[in-house]
Amino acid sequence: MTNHFREQLAEGLVYAPGVWDGLTARIAEQSGFRALCASGFAISASLGLPDAEMYSMSENLDAVRRIRGASRLPVVADIDTGYGNAVNAARTARMFADAGVSAVFMEDQLAPKRCPAATSGVPTLLPVREAAGKVRAVRDEVGDELVLIGRTDGIGDDAIRRAVAYVEAGAEMIMPISKGFPDAESWKRLHDAVGVPLMCSLTAWTWTAEQFTPQVLREIGVGLALLPTQILLAATTATRASLERLAAGELAADVSRDYMEHADFLKLIGFDEVLHKQSLYLPETLEEA
């Protein structure tokens, strides 16, 4: 099976916004993006949970299937720690590949994970040989079907040692965390050491989002930049503001004037497409059936 996402990555820097369902996937595609990130942070939040690997692999997979069903764009999926040991991780990758994703990234933390964007300190990591074995198991299972991205939550030289081991085990890209590489120069050093493109998370309100311009990203070897929380925070901000106004007694009609028009939403969600198909395939009246 040809993975066309590799061709897209070869053409230059790709941005992938974090989505969590069919609606956000459709909006992102219509907005002009070329790829999507099935953000574990956002999928957790959509379940009312923090990003602490509290949802199951099946719940994550269900969200990814809904995203794939609503968009034709390549999907980069967050598979957390692979949901177990090397054998579990290989099965996880197989199921996500069968669901139609183009790439997965897997971290080297001890489960349950600790989200670096929401916790302090350094999480407990697997021994490097065990973590590399999980990468190798995934690669052996899916072959070239998926772009395999190895994430390390390590710091400095230890993170570089781990990243090199993951590349040797089959990772095509490496995702460091900003705590481990706190400036552009350290990212460039990592890229030079591993010899493969990097993936960067431009999480909202972090220094990477502020400082890593497209030019800087290219200079330090980043080929794929995720925007994992921007849509989530925008939607949450707008939703809370509307609900607070309604709860305070403001007229629904007045609050609605700040929204997109109903007809525009119907078009966005695909009603025109459905009506066109109905005109092609369904009888115009019950008598004709």
pLDDT of residue 230: 98
Q: Tell me how far apart the alpha carbons of residues 203 and 34 are, in angstroms, rounded to a whole number.
A: 19
pLDDT of residue 246: 97
DSSP, res 83: S
> What is the DSSP annotation of 188-220?
HHHHHHH-S-EEEE--TTSHHHHH--HHHHHHT
Q: Which residues contact 285 (CB under 8 A, 6 or more apart)?
A: none
Structure confidence at residue 287 as a pLDDT band (50, 70, 90): low
- Domain boundaries of the chain, sorted by first residue: 4-235, 259-288
Q: Does the pLDDT of residue 1 top 60, yes or no? A: no
pLDDT of residue 85: 96
Dihedral sign for Cα atoms in the order 202, 203, 205, 207: negative
Q: Is pTM, for the whole model, over 0.85?
A: yes
Q: Tell me how far apart the alpha carbons of residues 161 and 156 are, in angstroms, rounded to a whole number.
A: 9
pLDDT of residue 288: 53
Q: Tell me how far apart the alpha carbons of residues 249 and 102 are, in angstroms, rounded to a whole number.
A: 47
Q: Is-contact 232 20, C-beta < 8 A? A: yes
The pLDDT tens digits for 25-52 are 999 999 999 999 999 999 999 999 999 8
The single residue of 21, 51, 140, 183 carrying the catalytic annotation is 51
Calculate what percentage of the chain has a pLDDT beyond 90.
Answer: 90
Q: Which residues pair with 15 in a beta bridge?
A: 225
Q: Is-contact 101 135, C-beta < 8 A? A: no
pLDDT of residue 234: 98
Q: Which residues contact 85 (CB under 8 A, 6 or more apart)?
A: 130, 134
**For the residues 262-285, what does the mean pLDDT come to?**
91
Q: Is 264 a catalytic residue?
A: no
Calculate what percentage of the chain has a pLDDT beyond 70.
Answer: 96
CATH of domain 4-235: 3.20.20.60
Dihedral sign for Cα atoms in the order 147, 9, 152, 227: negative
The pLDDT tens digits for 92-143 are 999 999 999 999 999 999 988 877 766 667 789 999 999 999 999 999 999 9
Q: Does the pLDDT of residue 286 top 60, yes or no? A: no
Q: Is-contact 122 152, C-beta < 8 A? A: no
Q: Tell me how far apart the alpha carbons of residues 138 and 161 are, in angstroms, rounded to a whole number.
A: 20
Q: Tell me how far apart the alpha carbons of residues 153 and 162 are, in angstroms, rounded to a whole number.
A: 9
Residue with tokens 């007045």: 254
Q: What is the chain's mean pLDDT, rounded?
A: 94
C-alpha of 135 from chain center: 18
